[in-house]
A = this chain, B = another copy of it.
Amino acid sequence: MSEEHQIDEHLPEEPEEGSYALEKRAVTAILYAVDVGDAEQLKELMEPLHAADIADLLEQLNTYDRRRLVELYDREFDGEILSELDEGIREEIISVLKPHVLAEAVREMDSDDVVDLVEDLDEPQQEAILEALEDADRVAVEQALTYPEYSAGRLMQREVVTAPEHWTVGDAIDFLRNAEELPDQFYHVILVDPRMHPIGNVTLGKLMSSRRTVPLKDIVEDVFQVIPVTQYEGDVAYAFNQYHLISAPVVDEADRLVGVITIDDAMAVLDEEHEEDILRLAGVSDEASLSDTILEAAKGRALWLFVNLLTAILASLVIDIFAETINQMVALAVLMPIVASMGGNAGTQTMTVTVRALATRDLTAQNAMRVVGREVSVGALNGVLFGLIMALVAGFWFGAPMLAAVIGVAMLLTQVSAAIGGIVIPMALDRFGIDPALASGPFVTTVTDVVGFSAFLGLAASVMM
């Protein structure tokens, strides 16, 4: 028995489908309540759910059920659910909500959440929401909207807790104990000089555990990063992840404190950036979500398919040059997709590693040449390996030693070109300020297809004909 127990302890719980997903039974009960129009029952069933889970539920329903649920839930619908919703669904729900329900929902929200909400909305919906806000909040939101989209200014909250640099622990504790109002969530007291330049962070834990006479200056955190208000949000997320920040002060052009960003917002940005990268690498426009309409989704993908069509036609033009050669030896037509497919895959591998290394700043001017060399070596190594395998396969299949030699060499050339294309193209795009995740794919495929087909058919034409 003790052995069994030990085995259990050493196996991680499988990432089951069920963990943190909404329980099917709960969803069924909720849909039933909506179906029969039982508002009381619906309210009771929704009560224990976190706003993020309610948002997920709404996203998973069809438009009809979603609308009915929102109407029945009515006044219970709060701002937090709105902030958690996907953009498309959010607009749809805002247009369904009664004006007074929407107004109340928005009034409950923190100003940085309202900013996040209104920045994606159409003009009329934006105005409706701004009008619902109290004057002070509206001004705060409007001010935040003057910062560039995707900048630290849009992410930050304006409520900060500061202390003059000469204060002691006792001063800070007395101040906090007597403060009329403190932000909902804060983790640091920010030390500022008389001109409001932030100079250090003191954690509340350190404050709690230090003697009253200790100067705050003596217990500031070792790691202190100040974020410029116009910094791109992706860089903010990178800084939080790289330096393990919990919160960081945001400063304007004169280095004066204007707000604070906390790690939960940075984590959400990191998540979005990853989503963008992964979808862009696959040639899906980054607005894509399961709640897009069919037409939106088709449009988002058609663009990249169209680019791919052009590169595919280019590759076909290469094949066309060798039409006569193929006519004389149909085995070439049978084998040529293998060369292209292997090249495309190797190119995608190298390209993905490169895009990822650029995003994490692991690939820099410092090590660029070495990494290119490494990738080419990897390509050559796998080129030799798969060149030999394919030479054997082709040799046995078609019983033509010359054909075997040709496909082997073509494979090697294609793998090396895939490595070069896969690393040089994203690096060049990055250098020119173009997102390598978005644009590398078609270029890399063009390289591998053109090299693959020309090498294979060209060698065949010159050696075998």
Q: Which stretch (A39-47, A94-102, A276-284) binds chain B?
A: A276-284
Is A459 close to B, CB under 8 A? Answer: no
Q: Which residue of B is nearest A379, CB measured?
A: B298
Select which of B21, B204, B231 is within 8 A of A361 by beta carbon.
B21
Chain B residue numbers with a CB within 8 Å of A11 are 148
Cβ-defined contact, B382 with A349, below 8 A: no
Q: Which residue of B is nearest A172, CB measured?
A: B208
Q: Which residue of B is nearest A262, CB measured?
A: B246
Is A323 close to B, CB under 8 A? Answer: yes
Q: Which stretch (A69-77, A121-129, A132-140, A310-318) binds chain B?
A: A310-318
Cβ-defined contact, B283 with A353, below 8 A: no
Given contacts A362-B59, A378-B298, contact A367 B309 (CB under 8 A): no
Select which of B228, B264, B298, B352 is within 8 A of A382 by beta carbon.
B298
Q: Which residue of B is nearest A297, CB measured?
A: B378
Cβ-defined contact, A374 with B297, below 8 A: yes
In the assembly, what is the distance between CA of A13 and CA of B151, in Å? Answer: 8
Cβ-defined contact, B271 with A241, below 8 A: yes
Chain B residue numbers with a CB within 8 Å of A433 are 14
Q: Which residue of B is nearest A187, CB measured?
A: B187
Top 4 A-B pairs, shortest CB-CB distance? A282-B352, A204-B204, A333-B333, A12-B148
Q: Which residue of B is nearest A452, CB measured?
A: B337
Q: Which residue of B is nearest A324, CB measured?
A: B330
Of A177, A179, A308, A311, which is in contact with the most chain B CB atoms at under 10 Å from its CB?
A308
In the assembly, what is the distance between CA of A282 and CA of B422, in Å? Answer: 12
Select which of B205, B223, B360 is within 8 A of A187 by beta carbon.
B205
List, sorted by A's number, 25 A–B pairs whose CB atoms are closer than 8 Å.
Answer: A9-B147, A13-B228, A19-B238, A24-B366, A27-B366, A52-B242, A61-B367, A179-B209, A244-B264, A263-B263, A263-B267, A274-B278, A275-B356, A278-B356, A282-B351, A282-B352, A284-B349, A290-B353, A290-B367, A294-B378, A297-B374, A309-B338, A316-B334, A320-B334, A327-B327
How many protomers of this protein does the assembly include?
2
Of A182, A235, A445, which is in contact with the most chain B CB atoms at under 10 Å from its CB?
A235
Of A267, A323, A385, A393, which is in contact with the most chain B CB atoms at under 10 Å from its CB?
A267
Given contacts A327-B327, A352-B284, A362-B289, contact A340 B337 (CB under 8 A): yes
Cβ-defined contact, A60 with B19, below 8 A: no
Chain B residue numbers with a CB within 8 Å of A12 are 148-151, 230, 232
Given contacts A17-B431, A242-B20, A282-B281, contact A337 B337 (CB under 8 A): yes
A contact residues vs B (CB 8 Å cutoff): 8-15, 17, 19-22, 24, 27, 50, 52-53, 56, 59-62, 146-151, 173, 176-177, 179, 181-187, 203-205, 208-209, 223, 228, 230-232, 234-235, 238-246, 263-264, 266-268, 270-271, 274-275, 277-279, 281-284, 288-290, 294-295, 297-298, 301-302, 304-306, 308-309, 311-313, 315-316, 319-320, 323, 326-327, 330-338, 340-342, 344-346, 348-349, 351-353, 356-357, 360-367, 370-371, 374, 377-378, 381-382, 385-386, 389-390, 393, 430-431, 433, 445, 449, 453
In the assembly, what is the distance between CA of A326 and CA of B203, in Å? Answer: 73
For the A-B complex with A21-B364, A277-B278, A294-B381 known, give 11 more contacts whose Cβ atoms are closer than 8 Å: A12-B149, A13-B231, A13-B232, A27-B366, A60-B367, A270-B271, A278-B352, A298-B382, A306-B386, A309-B386, A319-B334
Chain B residue numbers with a CB within 8 Å of A59 are 362
Select which of B240, B297, B304, B327 is within 8 A of A330 by beta carbon.
B327
Chain B residue numbers with a CB within 8 Å of A430 are 17
Q: How far is the CB of A377 from chain B (nearest CB, A)?
A: 5
Cβ-defined contact, B230 with A13, below 8 A: yes
Chain B residue numbers with a CB within 8 Å of A234 are 15
Cβ-defined contact, B56 with A361, below 8 A: yes
In the assembly, what is the distance between CA of A13 and CA of B235, in Å? Answer: 10
Select which of B205, B335, B341, B381 is within 8 A of A186 by beta carbon.
B205
Chain B residue numbers with a CB within 8 Å of A289 are 362
Given contacts A19-B235, A209-B179, A305-B386, contact A146 B9 (CB under 8 A): yes
Q: Which residue of B is nearest A28, CB measured?
A: B366
Cβ-defined contact, A323 with B334, below 8 A: yes
Select which of B148, B331, B337 is within 8 A of A10 by beta carbon.
B148
